[in-house]
Amino acid sequence: MQSLWMIAASLLFACMGVCVKLGAAQFAAAELVFWRSFIATLLIGSYVLLRRLPLATPHARTHVIAACRASSRW
């Protein structure tokens, strides 16, 4: 079963690469990153809501610090 997940992940990653290549002719790089992240957030968010998974983490401060460091590099 784990190998099927790996195959599905590889297929979806390849599809994302094709979509980025096709969209690169019409959209700016930042816009492509935004839409890719937005769609991923919708998919993950719907999964979390359907499964009623908690979003709480004991490492919230560490996540905020890492996000600030990552955004300051860009």
**Which pLDDT does position 73 carry in this prediction?**
74
In the chain, where the domains are located: 2-73
Q: pTM, whole model, 2 decimals?
A: 0.63
What's the rounded mean pLDDT across residues 5-30? 92
pLDDT tens readout for residues 34-71: 988 999 999 999 999 999 999 888 999 999 999 999 88
Q: Which three-class secondary structure state does DSSP give residue 57?
A: coil
Would the pLDDT of 14 be above 80?
yes
**Which pLDDT does position 74 carry in this prediction?**
63
- The total of other beta-carbon atoms located within 10 Å of residue 36's CB is 14
What's the rounded mean pLDDT across residues 16-33? 90
